[in-house]
Amino acid sequence: MSHAEKLSVSLPADQVRWAKRAARSRKTSFSAFLSQLIEERRQHEHALEAFESYFGAKGRVTPEEAQELRREWKEE
């Protein structure tokens, strides 16, 4: 992990309660849990950008495109 930066944020109380419970259940710190959520979101957005660049913003896959994807995934 790169250099950590300490900051102060305001969140709705119900979100904080949920996140603290989730962190405890995963046996991790609140900060580590939030960091993981942010990283997952960043990966999700990166994947969405890749999808949109491959298929365009239409977001629909033709049957031919689906077959091509399946072939590519099986090769990996």
> How far is the C-alpha of 59 from the C-alpha of 49, rounded, in Å?
11
Q: What's the CA angle centered on 69, arms 62 and 48, to 5 degrees?
A: 85
pTM > 0.75: yes or no: no
CA distances 27 to 43, 62, 76, Å, are 23, 43, 34
Q: Cβ distance 23 to 32 under 8 Å? A: yes
> How far is the C-alpha of 5 from the C-alpha of 27, rounded, in Å?
22
For the stretch 21-40, pLDDT in tens is: 999 999 999 999 999 999 99
Better-scored residue on pLDDT, 28 or 51 = 28
What is the per-residue pLDDT for 37?
A: 96
> How far is the C-alpha of 22 from the C-alpha of 25, rounded, in Å?
5
